[in-house]
Amino acid sequence: MIRFILLQNRQGKTRLAKYYVPLEDSEKHKVEYEVHRLVVNRDPKFTNFVEFRTHKIIYRRYAGLFFSLCVDITDNELAYLECIHLFVEILDHFFSNVCELDLVFNFHKVYLILDEFILAGELQETSKRAIIERMGELEKLE
Amino acid sequence: MSNLKSVKVCFYYSSLAVSYCPQNDFNGLTPYEKKKYVWKMLYIYMLGYDVDFGHMEAVSLISAPKYPEKQVGYIVTSCLLNENHDFLRLAINTVRNDIIGRNETFQCLALTMVGNIGGREFAESLAPDVQKLLISSSCRPLVRKKAALCLLRLYRKNPDVVNVDGWADRMAQLMDERDLGVLTSSMSLLVALVSNNHEAYWSCLPKCVKVLERLARNQDVPQEYTYYGIPSPWLQVKTMRALQYFPTIEDPNTRRSLFEVLQRILMGTDVVKNVNKNNASHAVLFEALALVMHLDAEKEMMSQCVALLGKFIAVREPNIRYLGLENMTRMLMVTDVQDIIKRHQSQIITSLKDPDISIRRRALDLLYGMCDVSNAKDIVEELLQYLSTAEFAMREELSLKAAILAEKFAPDLSWYVDVILQLIDKAGDFVSDDIWFRVVQFVTNNEDLQPYAAAKAREYLDKPAIHETMVKVSAYILGEFGHLLARRPGCSPKELFSIIHEKLPSISTSSIPILLSTYAKILMHTQPPDPELQNQIWAIFNKYGSCIDVEIQQRAIEYFALSSKGAALMDILAEMPKFPERQV
């Protein structure tokens, strides 16, 4: 399962953090610091998978943002890598050519999208169309 | 949300955001203002600041009557709180009302929060209601897929909440689901259920194979679930994962259908230019490989798998190389392919030196797993070489693995002694006491080994800077067996003593007792006694006789007394008897 999802920029600022396992605030800060250090120093030519404590981080960089998923050791790495890409595609579609600022100023919407995509640390829906449609429904209710 | 910038500025200039919005007035705010306040609190929290206010406000919004406020309450609560926060329980009743209520949107909010952060108490109160939603035909797929994953979480928190009787049939029915969103979520639920109790859910096995067939043939798969031309790769992967929890497939038809699908995947996955398509198709391929290994298929299929893996570990694409190494390691554990894998040994050794630490780790695991008597020497020597340049994160694991392999597969014992001494030399900090104790045991138990070990220890002592563990090992060995070397150049008792004693200033207090024992033994073995040496050593014993450390003091005084007794000493400080063989 996915233990947490992090979106961090190159400087280490967290743009999105969702935890599916209970962690205290101080632990979260430590984790975010360590994950950032881990992924920001890796050469782009290296694998997108790196061991982290007793789990694995699957990560990919999109422009100035690092998308990191912390998963179990036995999980399918490539499947989660493409899960990250699907999420990016959804964000790209929703925000029309998404950039970091979109995510900053609309972080509440990003959480809504994420909650349609992943639940309980597992993939909930893999149809971009279904998720965007749902977001449309929710906008009408605001 | 345009005044987010002002929040940041405000935060920098004021000590706490509390001054931005007074807590006691929270209930006096309009719904819109409440919403804004709580969202901003989340933003501040996300930036990494400590937010020790506002939790109650967020939770209280869960009971709000209207959707916009309720939404904020639920979402912010799931980000700020977790199952260990006591006052989350205060919300259980409201949450339950939302779940069993008629408002679909509220149901979704509740299911989502519980699915993301619900704990044991939620499990006990809510599981039956969530189950009802999952199988209710009047609920939209939207609700049912959330119910499936919410139930998964509750199950993980308390497996007893899902009563197997009757539920197994429901799960089997869910596998016939047409909506792929619901099916994807339900499959995750199934994986958890089956992993704990595959017998109860055996009826889902053929259904899973049908799902796989449906996807593989692209039957009834809407375009929106096709990812770069591949029918829901994630569902394929999940389904194959579920199948790996069933020990066998009894029914021959099911078995045959499954193998057809797997064969097609194994043979039909080509490398394509598009990175995402390539990753997705290979995600499916690697899961299929794992399933084939699990099913322990016919030899032919297995060799196909090994051949594929052999190809993968040599490609340039790092992800595939990584997965090739990882899966090859897994393969070692399930089946007898050691010989075929050994053909790739040189490629694997090259990976041990890859610039990427992730790949180096996989290569190390694989080498460790494929080591046997025939290749142990080569592999251990590679590990030792790598140890010199390895970063600290890997050294402990490397040393331990090298030591274990050396002991298990040593072609001869003197090689084993060499390896351990080299280990201590290169990575002394990471060599635990157990390891050097083992070496001493072996040497003690094997008379032929003793002069060799003593000579080697003597060699290492010549090095200018040696690790403390090396000092301990060498001192012990030379104390016990140094006398066997008496005739060799540089190995007279006096020379042995002085070269060991040279190292004393550099070691810690806890190691000094060993050296004292060594001096006593050297003295004992020096027959006829050498008065000059005796005086030197007695001086040391006297000096340490008043040492503040109890162990050192005791040894110094007792050794001094014993060694003054002359010939009687021989019996008291006789050679250590053989160690009993370790019970395996």
In whole numbers, what is the pLDDT of chain B averaged over residues? 88
Arithmetic mean of pLDDT, B240-244? 96
Taking alpha carbons only, the member of B563, B507, B463, B384 closest to residue B476 is B507
Tens digit of pLDDT for each residue in B95-104?
999 999 989 9
Arithmetic mean of pLDDT, B258-269? 93
Strongest mean pLDDT among B15-19, B282-286, B404-408: B282-286
pLDDT band (50, 70, 90) for residue B13: very low
The residues near A104 (Cβ < 8 Å, ≥ 6 apart) are A15, B4
- Residue B583 is predicted with a pLDDT of 52
- Are B100 and B129 in contact by the 8 Å Cβ rule? The answer is yes
User: Given an 8 Å threshold on Cβ–Cβ distance, is B153 in contact with A120?
Assistant: yes
Taking alpha carbons only, the member of A7, A73, A74, A84 closest to residue B280 is A84
- Evaluate whether residue B144 is within a structural domain: no
Would you identify the CATH topology of the domain A2-141?
Answer: Beta-Lactamase (3.30.450)
Tens digit of pLDDT for each residue in B371-417?
988 999 999 999 999 888 888 878 888 888 999 999 899 888 899 99
- Evaluate whether residue B486 is within a structural domain: yes
User: Given an 8 Å threshold on Cβ–Cβ distance, is A45 in contact with B318?
Assistant: yes
**pTM (two decimals):** 0.87
Of B68, B149, B323, the CB nearest to A124: B149
Q: Rounded to an integer, what distance in angstroms lies between the CA atom of residue B353 and that of residue B360?
A: 6
Report the complex ipTM. 0.97
Query: What's the number of CA atoms in the CB half-sphere (13 Å) around residue A37?
Result: 7
DSSP B195-215: HH-TTTTTTHHHHHHHHHHHH
Kindly give the parts of chain A with pLDDT less than 50.
none
Is a pLDDT exceeding 70 seen at residue B4?
Answer: no
Number of folded domains in chain B? Answer: 1
- Evaluate whether residue B580 is within a structural domain: yes
Tell me the nearest-neighbour CA distance from A124 into chain B, angstroms. Answer: 5
- Residue A117 is predicted with a pLDDT of 98
B/e letters for A66-105, b = 16+ CB within 10 Å, e = fewer, are bbbbbbeeebbbbbbbbbbbbbbebbeebbeebebebbbe
pLDDT band (50, 70, 90) for residue B568: low
Q: Rounded to an integer, what distance in angstroms lies between the CA atom of residue A64 and that of residue A54?
A: 27
Tell me the nearest-neighbour CA distance from B426 into chain A, angstroms. Answer: 25
Of B1, B47, B184, the CB nearest to A13: B47
Is a pLDDT exceeding 70 seen at residue B140?
Answer: yes
Tens digit of pLDDT for each residue in B119-135?
998 998 999 999 999 99
In chain A, which residue's Cα lies nearest the Cα of B4?
A105
- Are B221 and B180 in contact by the 8 Å Cβ rule? The answer is yes
User: Given an 8 Å threshold on Cβ–Cβ distance, is A78 in contact with B323?
Assistant: yes
* B326: amino acid identity, one letter: E
Q: Which residue carries 């869910």 as its tokens?
A: B174
Of A50, A107, A125, the CB nearest to B181: A125
Domain boundaries of chain A, sorted by first residue: 2-141
In chain B, which residue's Cα lies nearest the Cα of A129?
B224
Q: Which long-range contacts (C-beta less than 8 Å, at least 24 apart) are formed by B457-465?
A: B457/B421, B458/B482, B458/B485, B458/B490, B458/B491, B458/B496, B458/B499, B460/B421, B460/B425, B461/B499, B461/B500, B461/B503, B462/B499, B463/B425
The domain containing residue B563 runs over which residues?
A: 457-584
Q: Rounded to an integer, what distance in angstroms lies between the CA atom of residue B360 and that of residue B14?
A: 49
Measured between beta carbons, the chain B residues lying within 8 angstroms of A55 are: none
Arithmetic mean of pLDDT, B112-118? 96
Arithmetic mean of pLDDT, B461-489? 90
Residue B68 CA to chain centroid, in angstroms? Answer: 43
Taking alpha carbons only, the member of A48, A87, A51 closest to residue A72 is A51
Q: Is the dihedral of CA B490, B492, B494, B499 positive or negative?
A: positive
Strand duo A118-119 + A122-123: pairing: antiparallel
User: Given an 8 Å threshold on Cβ–Cβ distance, is B358 in contact with A50?
Assistant: yes
Of B152, B181, B322, the CB nearest to A47: B322
Measured between beta carbons, the chain B residues lying within 8 angstroms of A49 are: 319, 322, 358
- Residue B164 is predicted with a pLDDT of 85
Q: Rounded to an integer, what distance in angstroms lies between the CA atom of residue B401 and that of residue B81?
A: 42
Tell me the nearest-neighbour CA distance from A98 into chain B, angstroms. Answer: 17
- Evaluate whether residue B567 is within a structural domain: yes
Any bridge partners for residue A59, and if so which?
Answer: A68
- Are B197 and B164 in contact by the 8 Å Cβ rule? The answer is yes
Tens digit of pLDDT for each residue in B186-237?
999 999 999 999 999 999 999 999 999 999 988 889 999 999 999 999 999 9
- Evaluate whether residue B563 is within a structural domain: yes
- Evaluate whether residue B510 is within a structural domain: yes
- Residue B488 is predicted with a pLDDT of 87
Percent of the residues in chain B that have a pLDDT greater than 90, as a whole number: 58
- Are B176 and B183 in contact by the 8 Å Cβ rule? The answer is no
User: Given an 8 Å threshold on Cβ–Cβ distance, is A124 in contact with B184?
Assistant: yes
| Lowest-pLDDT range of A103-117, B272-286, B417-431, B568-582 | B568-582
Q: Rounded to an integer, what distance in angstroms lies between the CA atom of residue B10 and that of residue B472?
A: 62
Q: Rounded to an integer, what distance in angstroms lies between the CA atom of residue A15 and that of residue A65?
A: 9
